[in-house]
Amino acid sequence: MKKSIDFIRNGFLYGGDYNPDQWLDRPDVLKEDLRLMKKSGVNVVSLGIFAWSALEPEEGVFRFEWLDRVFDDLNRSGIRVFLATPSGARPGWMAAKYPEVLRVGSDGKRNLFGIRHNHCFSSPVYREKTAEINGKLAERYASHPAVILWHISNEYSGGCHCELCQENFRNWLKNRYGDLDSLNKAWWNAFWSHTVTDWNHIHSPVPHGEPMLHGLNLDWKRFVTDMTVDFMEAEIAAVHTVRPDLPVTTNLMAGVENSEHDPGLDYWKFRDKFDFASWDSYPGWHLPGYQAFSLDIPESPVDDYRRASEVAFQHDLFRSLTGGPFLLMESTPSAVNWRPLSKPKKPGLNILSGLQAVAHGANSVQYFQWRKSRGGFEKYHGAVVGHDGTENTRIFREAAELGSLLDKMRPIADTDYPARTALVYNWENRWVFEDSRGALNGPRKAYLETVRKHYFCLWDSGVPMDIISGEEDLSGYDLVVAPMLHMVGKTCEKRIREFVEAGGLFFTTYQSGYVDESDLCFEGAVPGPLRDILGITCEELDVLNPREQAEILPSVEMESFFPNGTGIATDFCEVVQVQSARSLARFRGSLADGAPALTVNDFGKGSAWYLAGRLDADSLKGLYRHLIKRAGTASVHDRLAARDETVSVQVRSSGDKKYLFLMNFAPKEAVVRTVKSYMDFLNPGEPKSEWILPGWGVAILE
């Protein structure tokens, strides 16, 4: 579905979640909101996200007068609206009258009324009530001149284990497998006498039942994603009864955190369901204990440059979901309130992080929330307007400065983020790999961290990237990287094969090509269907103790790319035999001693590279220098003569227009020298080639 999304190309959208329903008894506050919004450059708000109880205080009794007033006031002030459907939290009367709308946990207990996101996507009542309120909102507001976008629900996440969901799950399985024989084969149910003889015997995976059947676990996660998508589509259908041309989005969560912020959904399945993706970004700026790089990139106590790479990864992921501009739907102008410790953004960082989103292809910067609530769970969460209610705060001043910068940047809004390199991040792959029990279990398997480490090496080399599922057409790329591609489905195999045959450079690593889409091990050697493409087989796997290391000794041709002479392998060392491939490095130590650690295979017009051990970050970066060159893929760093290492450089372009973003993710000044001279877009003057960025500073080069 591609609706008219011109508005997103015409200029940057700037604003945030606006919750006037919390202030209905304070017309003075609502009036002041408008003045302050204008003052800070806000041109759009997300409205009504959790407003169901204000919209329908009793069953069937609807109150829209307050929203009419808010709409008209916003419209008079030239502020546009992302109109939300309120399904993220249901009113108390509904839970009391129809307990089926509440979720059942994996312990089989139905939740009481409370919190948000506590609703069953199978419940016919919840679906009916949601369709009703969505339809009423559409009838009343879809044609209102202020509305430009539907904001569907809020951060869909989690699942439910009630009887209705069990029933839907069984039907979903019937649809997928047709008969029990096929299901039993796909789940390998002869093992532990698990053969299913009646569909009704199937239950969702729960701790006191069956948590260890990998096929069941995988299908349950797929089902939860499909149910959520189905629910979302029903919501969209309900709002599209009026003005089906009005675009839709839903605000997605970070989605790749190993934390309670993992929604448990496969976002690749959402990609063609909305007009563009939007996401909520809350990185832990200024905090130590940087998770993604705990693997082996030496960690400084606080390293915001590396954190910036994690955020960049997510921007690239969400941009890649729909391919065009995306929306940064939420962020905090200062601190969040839900981490054990949350530091306010240092002066300058709010502007920098907002522009970082733009540099990666976002056409909006939005906050949660516009005005701080006086009570409730998020009363201390950062907001543009604090409890003091004034514009006389650093946070407000910086927000206003960003507003005026975005306004100046209007000509950049119709540019794109061009990428010729793609990195595979696949949720199903992550699920099956994390669920599997092998020689190394627990956090050191680190699929996500490994993907982020590879991302960091490329990002730090100035390579613009798309993040892909692995099932897309790859013909637009020079270089495709798929770390730890444990599961290789048929489409994925086909795409890789076509890509390399046509001349692409494909790079993958240890732990790839083990299982098919059903999480069944391939018959024949690892890496399964990638064997002939990579020209290797892998016979055995050694895993190393926490402080154990093996060495990786490069061949003469690769020596110059290993900055420390030899590389260090940790955690995984596979024993590989080359078939048609050439070995470019060997292991010293571990069971793989003497065996190839890095191989390349010429296949069709391209080449396929395989790394058999978990390589240290320095050497991996060196290896990427070589791969980038070999693939002939673009790096923005080609335009630079020198760069201080805390500066990230990104480019947005279209036709002849090109804008380089230089972003300094550190408190101290940094310098970048460009090969050619550029205009300073934000501070026009003479063209120049030396760029001095203050701490947390940004420059845009035209």
Question: Which positions from 671 through 690 interact with ligand GAL, judged by CB under 6 A?
Answer: none
| 577, β-bridge pairs | 537
Q: Please work out the total of residues on this chain that contact ligand GAL, with binding judged by CB under 6 A.
A: 9
Closest contact distance (angstroms) between CB of 332 and ligand GAL is 6
- The DSSP call for residue 638 is G
Identity of the residue, 155 or 542, whose beta carbon is nearer to ligand GAL in the bound complex? 155
Question: Of residues 56, 155, 257, 574, which has the active-site annotation?
Answer: 155
Q: Does 516 interact with ligand GAL (rule: CB under 6 A)? A: no
Sign of the Cα torsion 571, 577, 583, 585 reads: positive
Amino acid at 292: A
Q: Does 154 interact with ligand GAL (rule: CB under 6 A)? A: yes
Closest contact distance (angstroms) between CB of 329 and ligand GAL is 8
What is the spatial distance between Cα 52 and Cα 32, in angstroms, rounded to a whole number?
A: 24
Using CB under 6 A, pick the residue from 381, 497, 586, 621 that binds ligand GAL. 381
Closest contact distance (angstroms) between CB of 649 and ligand GAL is 29
Closest contact distance (angstroms) between CB of 590 and ligand GAL is 43
Residue 107: HSE in the Cβ half-sphere, 13 Å Cα cutoff:
3
Binding mask 329-368 for ligand GAL (x = CB under 6 A): -x-----x-------------------------------x
* Cβ–Cβ under 8 Å, residues 84 and 53: no
What is the spatial distance between Cα 288 and Cα 285, in angstroms, rounded to a whole number?
A: 9
Closest contact distance (angstroms) between CB of 76 and ligand GAL is 27
Q: Does 510 interact with ligand GAL (rule: CB under 6 A)? A: no
Identity of the residue, 279 or 431, whose beta carbon is nearer to ligand GAL in the bound complex? 279
Write the DSSP string, 563-626: TTSSEEEEEEEEEEEESS-EEEEEEESSTTTTSEEEEEEEETTEEEEEE-EEE-HHHHHHHHHH
* Cβ–Cβ under 8 Å, residues 531 and 524: yes
Question: Of residues 310, 330, 551, 574, which has the active-site annotation?
Answer: 330
Identity of the residue, 280 or 571, whose beta carbon is nearer to ligand GAL in the bound complex? 280
Closest contact distance (angstroms) between CB of 428 and ligand GAL is 24
Question: Which positions from 211 through 270 interact with ligand GAL, judged by CB under 6 A?
Answer: none
How many angstroms from the chain centroid is the CA of residue 90?
27
Q: Would residue 428 show up in a list of annotated catalytic residues for this protein?
A: no
C-beta nearest to ligand GAL: residue: 368
Identity of the residue, 49 or 544, whose beta carbon is nearer to ligand GAL in the bound complex? 49
Identity of the residue, 154 or 509, whose beta carbon is nearer to ligand GAL in the bound complex? 154
What is the spatial distance between Cα 286 and Cα 300, in angstroms, rounded to a whole number?
A: 11
Omega of the bond leading into 22 within 30 degrees of 0 (cis): no
Among 232, 243, 333, residue whose Cα is nearest residue 282: 333
Residue 347: HSE in the Cβ half-sphere, 13 Å Cα cutoff:
6
Closest contact distance (angstroms) between CB of 664 and ligand GAL is 26
Using CB under 6 A, pick the residue from 21, 100, 155, 257 that binds ligand GAL. 155
Sign of the Cα torsion 525, 526, 527, 529 reads: positive
- The DSSP call for residue 367 is E
Identity of the residue, 17 or 516, whose beta carbon is nearer to ligand GAL in the bound complex? 17
Using CB under 6 A, pick the residue from 274, 282, 326, 477 that binds ligand GAL. 282
Among 344, 366, 204, residue whose Cα is nearest residue 281: 366
Expressed in percent and rounded to 5, the helix, strand and coil fractions of the chain are 35, 20, 45
Using CB under 6 A, pick the residue from 100, 257, 280, 428 that binds ligand GAL. 280
What is the spatial distance between Cα 430 and Cα 439, in angstroms, rounded to a whole number?
A: 17
* Cβ–Cβ under 8 Å, residues 457 and 624: yes
Burial of 377 (0-12, 13-18, 19+ CB in 10 A): exposed
Identity of the residue, 251 or 633, whose beta carbon is nearer to ligand GAL in the bound complex? 251
Paired tokens of 403: 């507003």
Identity of the residue, 221 or 381, whose beta carbon is nearer to ligand GAL in the bound complex? 381
Paired tokens of 333: 């102008």
Identity of the residue, 226 or 330, whose beta carbon is nearer to ligand GAL in the bound complex? 330
Distances (CA, A) of 627 to 78, 309, 462, 633: 50, 20, 13, 9
Amino acid at 580: S
Closest contact distance (angstroms) between CB of 231 and ligand GAL is 17
Q: Would residue 260 show up in a list of annotated catalytic residues for this protein?
A: no
* Cβ–Cβ under 8 Å, residues 85 and 239: yes
Paired tokens of 290: 């940087």
Other beta carbons less than 10 A from residue 328's beta carbon = 27
Closest contact distance (angstroms) between CB of 88 and ligand GAL is 8
Identity of the residue, 333 or 596, whose beta carbon is nearer to ligand GAL in the bound complex? 333
Closest contact distance (angstroms) between CB of 21 and ligand GAL is 13
Which amino acids are annotated catalytic?
155, 330
Residues in touch with ligand GAL (CB under 6 A):
154-155, 280, 282, 330, 336, 368, 378, 381
